[in-house]
Amino acid sequence: MGSVTAYTTNGGKRYRVRYRTPDKRQTDKRGFRTKHDAEQFLASVEVSMGRGEWVDPTLSRVSVSAWSNLWIAAHANLKPSTRSAYEWILTKHVLPKWGTTPLVAVYHTDVQAWVTKMSDSLAPSSVRKIHVVFSGLMKYAVHDRRIPRNPCDGIRLPRVGASSRGYLTPQQVDELAASCGPDSDIIYLLAYTGLRWGEMAALKVKRVDLERRRLDVAEAVTEPEGEIIWGTPKNHERRSVPFPAFLKDAMTSRTEGKQPDDLVFPSPKGDVLRNGNFRRRRFDAAVETLQTKYPELPKITPHSLRHTDASLAISASATVLAVQRMLGHASAAMTLDVYSDLFDDDLDAVADALDARARATDVGKTCRSGNAEAIEDCHIRVIPRDFRGAACQNRTDDLLITSEMLYRLS
């Protein structure tokens, strides 16, 4: 139980509140002008302790900059590329605004104003990434009982509009590959397997099964701040990816005479093939040639070929689960979210199937009622289980519907 005591200052009488923290430390807060204010504060402290919501004021006064160092240190298990991205966002956007601000002085309204202002100059997706980092930092402070709630919760973020991913047709893939000369097989591999660039660049001879036409995707490289770092694929998911038969000769040529740990697609110097170097040497010029012929194409990058693979697979009637496994997505739901625009044709198929069912159901109801004249209008031969009317038996149309089918459709 806490206590309220009075003391005298040059400015007059003041009140001090003494209480024990949950870890049994004695602490106090003073400067209250009235006894009522002091008692109200003590009551609020006791209630928050009883609910397990009490926050030590001394801990909440740490600056956002100091806390960000602890937060980054706690994420040592992140992939290097992700950690590097977090550090860049903190340095570029978060700390210039909030670095000297105490955690307790970060208010929801101020965060909303900051996000709204950034939306005037940055892309919606960039604003959302910045918010994710700052919100994660503040959430970590909530978990450590430094602040009672996350001021980043409930922030209204800019809407990310749908953008074209630049799906290429098989013919366009052929033309792009032809423009890349000796590296045409790289274009084909990315466009017909959906490998990420880092997965392709890290592919070793021992990961290629020419007989089964499978690639064992177990490693990937990233280039945070220009440094090559080896690691696992995104989501740490190892997977087996098939490649089409027309690529077997190219893959045989790429692996022939090499050691198991040699790279399948090395740079001209034998090192890891870097995305930026490949684009400057081959890819960007090839894309420029392609867009001269197809000006409607949006921006094309090596990663766009991954989207092309999804498009080609879905158009070939691959299931969502198969596409998910091939691309290495964390879940089928993610695949549907990313490539929902590729399933528009399925909506038409659903409508046609429902239409066919509705028509068949109407015929079934008519036939079971014994109305043979209505069957003449349907142009369908119907053989009910208990009805053998001449009008049903003598029809010679293509579709045969039994009474069991009619029962199920209705």
52 or 293, which is more confident: 293
| Cβ-based burial of 229 (10 A; exposed 0-12, middle 13-18, buried ≥19) | middle
- Which conformational region is residue 263 in: left (phi greater than 0), alpha (psi within -120 to 50 degrees), or beta? beta
pLDDT digits (tens, 9 = 90+) for 340-365: 777 665 566 667 777 777 777 655 45
Query: What is residue 145's predicted lDDT score, i.e. its pLDDT?
Result: 83
pLDDT digits (tens, 9 = 90+) for 118-143: 999 999 999 999 999 999 999 999 99
What backbone phi and psi angles, to 5 degrees, belong to 318? -70, 145
Residue written as tokens 């689960």?
321
pLDDT digits (tens, 9 = 90+) for 66-95: 999 999 999 888 888 888 899 999 999 999
Q: Is residue 159 domain-resident?
A: no
- CATH of residue 66's domain is 1.10.150.130
Query: What is residue 406's predicted lDDT score, i.e. its pLDDT?
Result: 40
pLDDT over threshold 50, residue 367: no
Same domain? 92 vs 210: no
As a whole number of angstroms, the distance between CA 88 and CA 82 comes to 10
Q: Is residue 148 domain-resident?
A: no
Same domain? 177 vs 124: no
Q: Taking the CA of residue 96 as centre, how many other CA atoms within 13 Å lie in the half-sphere pointing to its CB?
A: 8
Same domain? 363 vs 243: no
Same domain? 184 vs 307: yes
Query: What is residue 261's predicted lDDT score, i.e. its pLDDT?
Result: 97
Q: Which distant-in-sequence residues (6+ apart) come within 8 Å of 163 by Cβ?
A: 298
Q: Is residue 201 domain-resident?
A: yes
Same domain? 207 vs 320: yes
pLDDT over threshold 90, residue 55: no
Same domain? 332 vs 356: no
Same domain? 277 vs 226: yes
**DSSP β-bridge partners for residue 131:** none
Mean pLDDT of 14-34: 79
Q: Is residue 156 domain-resident?
A: no
Query: What is residue 61's predicted lDDT score, i.e. its pLDDT?
Result: 86
pLDDT over threshold 50, residue 231: yes
pLDDT over threshold 90, residue 391: no
Query: What is residue 42's predicted lDDT score, i.e. its pLDDT?
Result: 77
* C-alpha distances out from residue 140 to 67, 71, 95, 134, Å: 9, 7, 16, 10
pLDDT over threshold 90, residue 57: no
Picking from 338, 361, 379, the residue at the C-terminal end of a domain is 338
* C-alpha distances out from residue 163 to 122, 160, 173, 320, 341, Å: 16, 9, 20, 21, 10
Same domain? 46 vs 70: no
What backbone phi and psi angles, to 5 degrees, belong to 401? -115, 120
pLDDT over threshold 50, residue 29: yes
Tokens of 182: 């000796």
Average pLDDT of the residues of the chain:
84
As a whole number of angstroms, the distance between CA 281 and CA 57 comes to 58
* pLDDT bucket at 117, cuts 50 / 70 / 90: very high
Same domain? 217 vs 301: yes
Picking from 311, 338, 365, the residue at the C-terminal end of a domain is 338
Q: Quick count: other Cβ atoms within 10 Å of Cβ 54? A: 18
Q: Is residue 150 domain-resident?
A: no
Same domain? 126 vs 224: no
Q: Is residue 104 domain-resident?
A: yes
Q: Is residue 164 domain-resident?
A: no
Q: In total, how many domains does the chain have?
A: 4
Q: Among 164-173, 212-221, 233-242, 360-369, where is mean pLDDT lowest?
A: 360-369
Residue written as tokens 């031969």?
381
Per cent of the chain over pLDDT 90 is 50
Q: Label each residue of the chain as H, E or C.
A: CCEEEEEEECCEEEEEEEEECCCCCEEEEEEECCHHHHHHHHHHHHHHHHHCCCCCCCHHHCEHHHHHHHHHHCCCCCCHHHHHHHHHHHHHHHHHHHCCCEHHHCCHHHHHHHHHHHCCCCCHHHHHHHHHHHHHHHHHHHHCCCCCCCCCCCCCCCCCCCCCCCCCCHHHHHHHHHHCHHHHHHHHHHHHHCCCHHHHHCCEHHHEECCCCEEEECCEEECHHHCCEEECCHHHCCEEEECCHHHHHHHHHHHCCCCCCCECCECCCCCECCHHHHHHHHHHHHHHHHHHHCCCCCCCCCCHHHHHHHHHHHHCCCCHHHHHHHHCCCCHHHHHHHCHHHHHHHHHHHHHHHHHHHHHHHHHHHHHCCCHHHHHHHCCEEECCCCCCHHHHCCCCCCEEEHHHHHHHC
| Cβ-based burial of 203 (10 A; exposed 0-12, middle 13-18, buried ≥19) | buried
Query: What is residue 248's predicted lDDT score, i.e. its pLDDT?
Result: 97
| Residue pair 194/216 in contact by the 8 Å Cβ criterion | no
pTM of the predicted protein model: 0.68
Same domain? 320 vs 361: no
Same domain? 11 vs 78: no
Query: What is residue 365's predicted lDDT score, i.e. its pLDDT?
Result: 52
Domain that holds residue 33: 3-54
Give me the count of residues in the chain: 410
As a whole number of angstroms, the distance between CA 196 and CA 190 comes to 7
Picking from 285, 312, 338, the residue at the C-terminal end of a domain is 338
- CATH of residue 184's domain is 1.10.443.10
Q: Is residue 36 domain-resident?
A: yes
